[in-house]
Amino acid sequence: MSVRLTTLPSGLRVVTDASGDLRTASLGVFVAAGSRHESEGENGLSHLLEHMAFKGTRRRNARAIAETIENVGGDLNAETGVEQTAYFARVLGEDVDLALDVIADILTDSQFDPHELEREKNVILQEIGSVEDAPDDFVFDLFTGAAWPRQPIGRPILGTRESVGGFDRGAIAAYLRRHYRAGAAIVAAAGAVDHDRVVARAQSLLAPLGAATADPPRAAAYCGGESIVKKRLEQTHIVVGFEGRAIDAADHDAAHVFAAAAGGGMSSRLFQEVREKRGLAYSIYSFHWGFSDCGLFGFYAGSAPKDAGEVTRAALDCLAEAAEKLDVTEIDRAKAQFKVSTLAALESPSARAQQLARQTFVYGAPLSLDAMLGRIASIGVDDVRQAGAAMLRSPPTVAAIGGVGRALDAAAVARRLGGG
């Protein structure tokens, strides 16, 4: 690993992992501004800003932005998350300067044309409709809203029809000025890159971001609860969850391994019991999401409406048993999966750039290979069991959509686990 990190006087951080064996490079600008940074009236603004960044600057219109990268065989994309928004490109090593120029241009000089804004708002309304038509996606919006009610982190990343419809050019520009600051941004690149050249270009091209830092988001307060939507569907979609662990918490990695061991693959307890033995669900899996100051652990299942209650009870029993009886073989299997996903990122410039940015946001600098593997190796059986048991003791969150008459509510989930 040839990782280098430079912090510019403005507070902008540039982190790279150069490889002489690769001909392509991936680079991006990652900004600590996601949906949880929005005020109540701004829900969906981070995502709309990401869309509008591609609609034209003073130097390039929307088509020219796309063609500049695609003419050299590259691709350009962006994504909005809960805590960050990322703008990234994949190009040949010789075109890294060009890619950074385009990304910097859309971040510092987007014009937010009113006509383009109205068209893009309509595109996002269609995107919202697409999620609402996909119950296996929409149920997770219900889930986070119930886990963190009346909080930015619990609101949908896309926003709502009402909030998106009300945004204007001034709202976007104000949000951009408030959150898109050098101290809140990281330039990350991997593959055929030269660190010093990326630093020099970033310092020049991203100077308009200024030197100020952005305000931190509102702290999250997990509550638990339920959100149930009755709808005529062939399947009932269920998510049951609990308070997870922040990404820098001492037991975050153990919580992640618990989720993987209990329900992260075809050999896991959840899959074997619910799908293979009982045939109650086509899709069932557990997950753990870690954020900067909080987390969520839970499981998703899609079943026939008549089986929704049985699926939920069986899954809860599996998780409770796992918190007591996960053995070294199961945990070693989950740790091996964790290790493979960690190492796989080193072999893909795109995944590596994202890994560099994520670790720099969380730890202040990328972790060494020895540190990453050491964290995984140090996780013991007791660590995993204790993390799982602690999460299952928290107030439950239940979200369901479909024929939900036989699904369990949050109080029933707590009783099943002996908490009420």
The pLDDT value given to residue 132: 94
Domains of the chain, start order? 3-209 (3.30.830.10), 225-416 (3.30.830.10)
Length of the chain: 420
């063609």: which residue's tokens? 67
The pLDDT value given to residue 354: 97
Q: What is the 3-class SS of the chain, one letter each residue? A: CCEEEEECCCCCEEEEEECCCCCEEEEEEEECCCHHHCCHHHCCHHHHHHHHCCCEECCCEHHHHHHHHHCCCCEEEEEECCCCEEEEEEEEHHHHHHHHHHHHHHHHCECCCHHHHHHHHHHHHHHHHHHHCCHHHHHHHHHHHHHCCCCHHHCCCCCCHHHHHCCCHHHHHHHHHHHCCHHHEEEEEEECCCHHHHHHHHHHHCHHHCCCCCCCCCCCCCCCEEEEEECCCCCEEEEEEEECCCCCCCCHHHHHHHHHHHHCCCCCHHHHHHHHHCCCEEEEEEEEEECCCCEEEEEEEEECHHHHHHHHHHHHHHHHHHHHHCCHHHHHHHHHHHHHHHHHHHCCHHHHHHHHHHHHHHHCCCCCHHHHHHHHHCCCHHHHHHHHHHHHCCCCEEEEEECCCCCCCHHHHHHHCCCC
CB 342 within 8 A of CB 372: yes
CA distance 45 to 172: 7
Token representation of residue 106: 């859309």
The pLDDT value given to residue 206: 97
The pLDDT value given to residue 415: 92
244 exposure class (CB count in 10 Å sphere: 0-12, 13-18, 19+): buried
Token representation of residue 1: 């690993």
The pLDDT value given to residue 419: 64
Which of these is catalytic: 50, 120, 243, 330?
A: 50
CB 182 within 8 A of CB 211: yes
CA distance 92 to 160: 39
Contacts of 188 (CB under 8 A, 6+ apart): 14, 15, 16, 27, 28, 30, 353, 354, 356, 357, 360
**pLDDT tens per residue across all 420 residues of the chain:** 699 999 999 999 999 999 989 999 999 999 999 999 999 889 999 999 999 999 999 999 999 999 999 999 999 999 999 999 999 999 999 999 999 999 999 999 999 999 999 999 999 999 999 999 999 999 999 999 999 999 999 999 999 999 999 999 999 999 998 999 999 999 999 999 999 999 999 999 999 998 777 778 889 999 999 999 999 999 999 999 999 999 999 999 999 999 999 999 899 999 999 999 999 999 999 999 999 999 999 999 999 999 999 999 999 999 999 999 999 999 999 999 999 999 999 999 999 999 999 999 999 999 999 999 999 999 999 999 999 999 999 999 999 999 887 778 899 999 999 865
Respond yes or no: is residue 118 known to be catalytic: no
